[in-house]
Amino acid sequence: MMIAPRFFFSLILVIFICINCYAQEDDITTQLYETYEKYKEPTLGKRRIKRSDIQPLIAKYRTNSKFNVTKVGESIGGKPLNLISIGSGSTNVFLWSQMHGDEPTATQAIFDILNFLDSDDFTQAKSSILDSLTVHFLPMLNPDGAELFQRRNLLGVDINRDALRLQSPESQTLKRVRDSLQADFGFNLHDQSTYYNAERTEKPATISYLAPAFNYDKDINEVRGNAMKIIVFMNNIIQKYAPGQVGRYNDDFEPRAFGDNIQKWGTSTILIESGGYPEDIEKQEIRKLNYVSILSAIFTIAKRNYVDIPIPEYEKIPENDRKFFDLKIIGATYELMGDEYIIDLGINQVEVDYEDHNDFWYSSRIWDQGDLSTYYGYETLDATGYKIKAAKVYPETLSSIKNLDTFNFKDALQSGYGYLRVDSIPVSILNTSSPMHIVGKDYKLSELRLEPGMNPTFLLEKNGKVDYAVINGFLLDLSKEESKMLHDFERQKGNAMIFR
């Protein structure tokens, strides 16, 4: 079949434009990634950040002539909501974060981006951005929820389902700011569960995207189409640093959601969800990916290089699936009522906040069991040939928690023990950093019966030798030296439980 010369020329031109577009952004993206530590805000190092943590940073930008800081509302609890703006362009880009109080990754990235915009570096790139765009940031929309590290606000309302009734002052503020800006582009910034994966792959969905639908028919107009193009561009960036670790949210229309409505109101809306990344408990690598991809997207909006990106590429991003566990154990032998069964276990290390919501500990659970061949794990052990054995209580009683400092945990675990009896356990202690559970002097250990919801503590034995222990959902390799075993446990922020 012959291709008409005019069509062939047009095709080559489109390909050239797309290659040139990605080449320009690829260069700045690489530079942003390599220089990130220079702009990372050092005062925000953990996920459980509060309004008091960002207040000094907002105050700093209030006195900086490059920025315009405006109080645009208050939370139910009376905490101020601030809009930080920079740039002089006619295109308005609006970013808001942490409408769910326990989703702080992008809030941290916003202050990294502000540090970048305040610096004297990348002069040409920043001129392209700030001459063409005015960029507005509303960090931590739900500061009361952040204080308690909970999803909902003090009214118990999910702000992201309050776009119609606007019951909450936080919701009213978001709507009022969007309307006053008549924003051309909006970035709706969230965290998602770390247990999402890119569909039909063993890759966690480190970043997931959505160009929300604005009606039940999921029509694609120019506004939504532009959001899809930006997402395709951002996906290509993430693939460089977390290949295969991008998912796409289901786009069923939710008439109460802000993303869907802001899309409907005429702002090209990009939903970004920060998920899981191996050995990134505080999501600092994901924070970096937010910084790089969002800044690069802002740059391509300023240059209008997104215009020629083909929308069908959006549908090629794998959908989000939820098939991940923190620990997956395959093919272990489990004896029940005199018979042996082959079983897989899916274990999740569930976070429990301390009372001040500044940090957390783990109370892990078996999430599922049986045939888990279609699921994946951040850590996976093939336990074929291993028998699941109940962990016993160590026969000697320690007089004090202080005795743990000199205890030989590896020998005890290899001898079949997973619990240590302590004569006096201080009431203030909720858990222990030691890799064996602590039990009170009168505690009675129940018979091991594996089922979803129970705390996963057991041993894995082969040929009469205990090679692995699972303590509160954390896998301990007993072939390692004790110091290395303890280091691995500490690196995972592992802990054992207190059973009084």
Domain limits, the chain: 20-321, 325-499
Q: What is the predicted pLDDT for the residue at 24?
A: 53
Q: What is the 3-state secondary structure (H, E, C) of 116-174?
A: HHHCCCCHHHHHHHHHHEEEEEECCCCHHHHHHCCCCCCCCCCHHHCCCCCCCHHHHHH
Do residues 93 and 298 touch, judged by C-beta distance below 8 A? yes
- Nearest alpha-carbon partner for 72 in 145, 188, 175, 226: 175
How many whole angstroms separate alpha carbon 421 and alpha carbon 306?
63
At 227 the three-state DSSP class reads helix
Do residues 72 and 176 touch, judged by C-beta distance below 8 A? yes
Q: What is the predicted pLDDT for the residue at 283?
A: 98
How wide is the angle at C-alpha 48 spanned by C-alphas 377 and 236, nearest 5°?
A: 55
Q: What is the predicted pLDDT for the residue at 15?
A: 44
The encoded tokens of residue 500 equal: 């009084």
Question: Which CATH code is given to the segment(s) 20-321?
Answer: 3.40.630.10
How many whole angstroms separate alpha carbon 329 and alpha carbon 252?
34
Q: What is the predicted pLDDT for the residue at 27?
A: 84
How many whole angstroms separate alpha carbon 376 and alpha carbon 58?
41
The encoded tokens of residue 358 equal: 């500044």
- Nearest alpha-carbon partner for 418 in 493, 476, 360: 476
Do residues 404 and 420 touch, judged by C-beta distance below 8 A? yes
Q: What separation in angstroms does the CA of 26 have from each of 22, 38, 125, 138, 401?
A: 6, 20, 13, 28, 55
Cα 119 to the center of its chain, rounded Å: 28
Predicted TM-score (pTM) of the model is 0.93
pLDDT digit string (tens) for 456-500? 999 999 999 999 999 999 999 999 999 999 999 999 999 999 999
Q: What is the predicted pLDDT for the residue at 35?
A: 98
pLDDT tens sequence for the chain (500 residues): 444 545 444 444 444 444 444 455 678 999 999 999 999 999 999 999 999 999 999 999 999 999 999 999 999 999 999 999 999 999 999 999 999 999 999 999 999 999 999 999 999 999 999 999 999 999 999 999 999 999 999 999 999 999 999 999 999 999 999 999 999 999 999 999 999 999 999 999 999 999 999 999 999 999 999 999 999 999 999 999 999 999 999 999 999 999 999 999 999 999 999 999 999 999 999 999 999 999 999 999 999 999 999 999 999 999 999 999 999 999 999 999 999 999 999 999 999 999 999 999 999 999 999 999 999 999 999 999 999 999 999 999 999 999 999 999 999 999 999 999 999 999 999 999 999 999 999 999 999 999 999 999 999 999 999 999 999 999 999 999 999 999 999 999 999 999 99
DSSP code string of 302-337:
HHTGGGGS-GGGGGGSPBEE--EEEEEEEEEEEEET
Q: What is the predicted pLDDT for the residue at 25?
A: 62
Do residues 128 and 302 touch, judged by C-beta distance below 8 A? yes
What are residue 193's phi and psi, to 5 degrees?
-60, 145
